[in-house]
Amino acid sequence: MSIENNKTLVRRHYEEVLTGRNPDLVDDLYLPMIGLSDGNSIEREQFKGYLQISLDAFPDLVVTVEDQIAEGDKVVTRWTAEGTHRGSFFGLEATGKQVRLQAIHIHQIKNGKIARLWEEFDMFGLRQQLGFT
């Protein structure tokens, strides 16, 4: 795949899976086993489950791709997410508060699908916005 195709593939994760609320699209975008930041791997179905937790907790979630840089088989994306905390989120009960989160992901592409995900985001800042610190 070309660098532009890789960027388009990754952008679909933010625009269609998250903002478009379509976690089933993960089947088209990701390999069956996804490598993670901590060196472990996760099955695609389990990954979809984690995404669904976020979608349920923030039903009005909107993710905006701020920047994308690609080289070789990797795509770096700086993104912003905004939404209202309406459901449980990894043990944090709904607060009804609006939140804004910025993060950076690096996706590695193999055979036209996302194979690995590295992520950096400010969980402490999110917890502060929700009033849990």
Judge whether 92 lies within some domain. no
The CATH number of the domain where 69 resides is what? Answer: 3.10.450.50
Judge whether 111 lies within some domain. yes
Judge whether 130 lies within some domain. no
Judge whether 91 lies within some domain. no
Does the pLDDT of residue 131 top 90, yes or no?
no
pLDDT at 11: 98
Judge whether 93 lies within some domain. no
Mean pLDDT of the chain: 95
Q: Match 């009960």 to its residue by tokens.
A: 93
Which of 25, 11, 92 shows the shortest CA–CA distance to 54?
92
Percentage of the chain modeled with pLDDT above 90: 87
- For residue 10, with 0-12 CB atoms within 10 Å meaning exposed, 13-18 middle and 19 or more buried, which class applies? buried
Judge whether 126 lies within some domain. no
Does the pLDDT of residue 60 top 90, yes or no?
yes
Q: How many domains does the chain have?
A: 1
> How far apart, in whole angstroms, are the C-alpha atoms of residue 127 and residue 92?
9
What is the residue range of 49's domain?
3-80+102-121
The DSSP call for residue 72 is T
Residue 91's pLDDT band, with cuts at 50, 70 and 90, is confident
pLDDT tens, position by position, 103-124? 999 999 999 999 999 999 988 8
CB contact set of 12 (below 8 Å; sequence gap of 6+): 25, 29
Q: Which two tokens stand for residue 24?
A: 């089933």
Average pLDDT over residues 19-38: 96
Q: Which two tokens stand for residue 90?
A: 């990894």
Whole-model pTM: value is 0.92
> How far apart, in whole angstroms, are the C-alpha atoms of residue 83 and residue 100?
7
Which of 56, 93, 90, 76 shows the shortest CA–CA distance to 11?
76
Q: Match 């933010």 to its residue by tokens.
A: 14
Judge whether 89 lies within some domain. no
pLDDT at 123: 86
